[in-house]
Structure 1
Amino acid sequence: MTLPRIAPMLATPGALPTAQEGWAFEVKQDGQRALLHLPGDGSVQLRARSGADITAVYPELHSLGAVLGEGVSAVLDGEIVALDQGGRSDFELLQSRMGLSGPPAKAARLAREVPAHLILFDALYLRGDTLMHLPYAERRRHLESLVLSGTHWSTPAALVGHGTQALEASREHGLEGLICKRLDSVYVPGVRSRDWIKVRNKVTVDAIVGGWVPGRGRLAGLFGALLLGRREEGALRYIGSVGTGWSERERAVLADLLRVAAVDYCPFSTVPPIAGAHWVLPRLVGEVGYATRTRAGFLRHPSWHRLRPDLAAEDTD
């Protein structure tokens, strides 16, 4: 059967709700968002946040298509992660799997080396009926009734009404943070809603790379710092530079990407007063941690965390 194509609902960055009784709290996973389509014939299709078909990338998840039983159709929402030795999601590990192209044998090999795990957290469509108009709490009951738990997928419980304790526990265990969801909220496809709030244990921003400055000494031939921006009212505003946070391998990979993206004009709305700057097409997105911002909006004490190949520059508004 043909299942509906649904754009995932998105969370708004923020702080814990003051009154927590009407909220559920889920661990914020550090992976790739995925919509799971199960038509009820034993097959499975995975679609990324962008809508791209990523089924072939994760062969270890294909057997999930037969778990619900013949004739049981569903569209489920979740996050594909790679787990570190402590059982925490590790985006850097997952990056070796994302955007994979090539023969099935390559995907199968990587599935053995870096196995993926699907964290399920919402049910949008089940047995021929849409569930998106139902409150979150009721959708969760439908999801949990499917009892989806296995080597490569699970349905972790959501904690209701105790967000402060949940956030403290996430810090103690080195987790990224929480997603807070109103128990009475409906699912609004493609919308970044205040009914879902993401609370990070670290202050980060998804920034667009608009240029770079050359490195010196041992970094000769590579970049020394990246020039960052954010989309504001259709323009790319410069928010500062970042010069730390990469491993040697990450720096080399980024240097190759910068060479491919080189242009001879500044993509920022106002040219930063930086000598020797090189400019690139503003399409690479990175997650950058920082302490605070200046009154002018520039990042203070920034540090590069990771490249975000799962985000397009348009998604960082």
Structure 2
Amino acid sequence: MLATPGTHVPPGDDWVHEVKWDGIRLLAHRTRDGRPRLWTRNENDATLAWPEIAGGGPSVSTGRDLLVDGEAIALNDRGVPDLRVLGERMHVRDARRAARFAEQRPATYMVFDVLRLDGRDLTGLPWTERRAVLEGLAESGEMGGWQVPAAYDDGGMLHEVTREQGLEGIVSKRRTSRYLPGVRTKEWLKFPHRFRGSYVVGGWRPQIGTTDRLAALLVGQPTPAGLVYRGRVGSGIGARESRQLRSLLTDAAASPFAGADVDPAGGVPREDVRGTFWVEPRVVVDVETHGRHVVGAAVLGRLRQPAFIAVRPDLGPEDLL
């Protein structure tokens, strides 16, 4: 279940409010025999990549069958959850490397919903009842090392406090909301403090004087009409990020941006086309920016002062439509 961007924090007793964590969304399943399994939003098995989460939940001694929704977070040097700290971990497929990451920068699993317990589907229950089940599990110690963050009645207060503390934002949830897997709903509203969006990579440009060192990305937004160009992102891409991105991108013969059937540049400005290598539009990245440009009567939607944050292996282009 996904939250819709909100315009104002809803007041009143019909809503409850939670901290919006800057991390990776994960579903976690612990079977009665204690076997753990983790999935990303796009149903990729992530169990190997997060050994401290897979091994840190309810133990086999509880004998419970449990499916929960939550977010893996890690703290930066300022003690604030930061997606960038988890950047390298999202693609780990080697158990020894995952174990090193877990020791050096351990992640914490923040559980905010429960979907199934002992074979019973809880998704049709209102949020208040699911929350009561979750809190009961936490109070009895059956959540193991997984944490259940607090929920708050005063959304305005939480919004201001999270801003002051440098947290990502808040999520407001209607108390009567059922859990709708994979659905983006207005029963959950999100209020980030920074403008951050997810975009699809359609091309890359090398560092001047090189042919293989990735220095900038060309990103777009999926629409029913195709991939619409949103701008070039160079800030935030260091040597480590450059290597990671190059290993994920697959070369393409032509621009994937909308309009490529009319213009080989696909609507991309000439200055951004020069020296660009096109790629298959499969990789999703998070970009932080100050907003979008509006020029004349046409909304070009170009990102202003964009900075690369991280690759999002838990998202596919279809998730952004």
Q: Which range, TM-score by smaller chain?
A: 0.7 to 0.9
- Say whether 1:291 aligns with 2:284: no
In structure 1, distance between residues paired with 2:269 and 2:79: 45
Q: 1:53 to 1:301 in 2, by over 3 A?
A: closer
Among residues 59, 62, 73, which one is paired with 1:69 in the alignment?
Answer: 62
1:86 deviates by: 4.3
What one-letter code is carried by the residue in structure 1 that aligns with 2:58? G
State the match for 2:159 in structure 1.
167
The answer as to whether partners of 1:123 and 1:131 remain within 8 angstroms in 2 is: yes
Q: Is residue 273 from structure 1 mapped to residue 277 from structure 2 by the alignment?
A: no
Residue 229 (structure 1) shift: 0.8
Distance 1:86 1:222 in 2: 30
Equivalence for 1:4: none
Aligned to 1:208: 200
Q: Quote how far apart the aligned CAs of 1:193 are.
A: 0.8
Q: Distance in 2 between matches of 1:78 and 1:68?
A: 22
What is aligned with 2:263?
Answer: none
Distance 1:165 1:111, change over 3 A: same
TM-align CA RMSD: 2.3
Is the Cα contact below 8 Å between 2:4 and 2:190 reproduced in 1? yes
TM-aligned CA distance change 1:227 to 1:127, over 3 Å: same
Contact 1:83 1:117 in 2 (8 A): no
1:3 counterpart residue number = none
Letter in 1 for 2:150: A
Q: Which amino acid aligns with 1:197?
A: L
1:67 deviation in Å?
6.6
Relative distance call for 1:131 and 1:175 in structure 2 (3 A) is same
Deviation at 1:22, TM superposition (A): 1.6
Aligned match of 1:157 in 146, 150, 157? Answer: 150
- Structure 1-normalised TM-score? 0.86
Alignment: residue pair count: 303
- Residue 203 of structure 1, CA deviation: 0.9
Q: Equivalent residue for 1:111?
A: 102
Q: Which amino acid aligns with 2:171?
A: I
Alignment partners' CA distance in 1, 2:90 and 2:215: 27
1:87-116 C-alpha deviation (Å, 9 max, x unpaired): 4322222233223222x4443333212212
Identity of aligned residues (%): 39
Match of residue 239 from structure 2: 248
Q: Secondary structure at the match of 2:256?
A: coil
Q: 8 Å contact 2:216–2:233 — kept in the other structure? A: yes
| Contact preservation (8 Å) 2:252, 2:280 | yes
Structure 2 matches for 1:12-51, cutoff 5 A?
12-51=4-43
Moved more, 166-175 or 247-256: 247-256
Match of 1:143 in 2: 134
Uncovered stretches (5+) of structure 1, i.e. residues with no partner: 1-8
Deviations 1:154-211 (A, max 9, x none): 1111112x11111111111111111111111111111011111111111122111111
Query: Is the 8 Å Cα contact of residues 251 and 278 (structure 2) preserved in structure 1?
Result: yes
Query: For residues 226-252 of structure 1, what are the alpha-carbon distances to aligned partners after superposition, in whole Å with 9 as ceiling and x for unaligned?
Result: 221111105111122223232333234
**Partners in 1 of 2:192 and 2:310 — Cα distance?**
15
Q: How does 1:77-88 map to 2 (within 5 A)?
A: 77-88=69-80
What TM-score, normalized to structure 2?
A: 0.85
Is 2:285–2:310's contact at 8 Å kept on the other side of the alignment? yes
Q: Which runs of 5+ in 2 are unaligned?
A: 260-265
Name the counterpart of 1:6.
none
Displacement of 1:75 in angstroms is 1.3
- Rounded to whole Å, the distance in 2 between the matches of 1:215 and 1:93 is 24
Of 297, 316, 320 in structure 2, the residue corresponding to residue 316 of structure 1 is: 320
1:44 positional shift = 2.2
1:251-293 Cα shifts (integer Å, max 9, x gaps) = 34334544xx222211111221323332111112221222232
SS in 2 for 1:184: coil
Structure 2 CA distance for aligned equivalents of residues 195 and 255 of structure 1 = 39
Tell me which of 218, 222, 226 is aligned to 2:217.
226
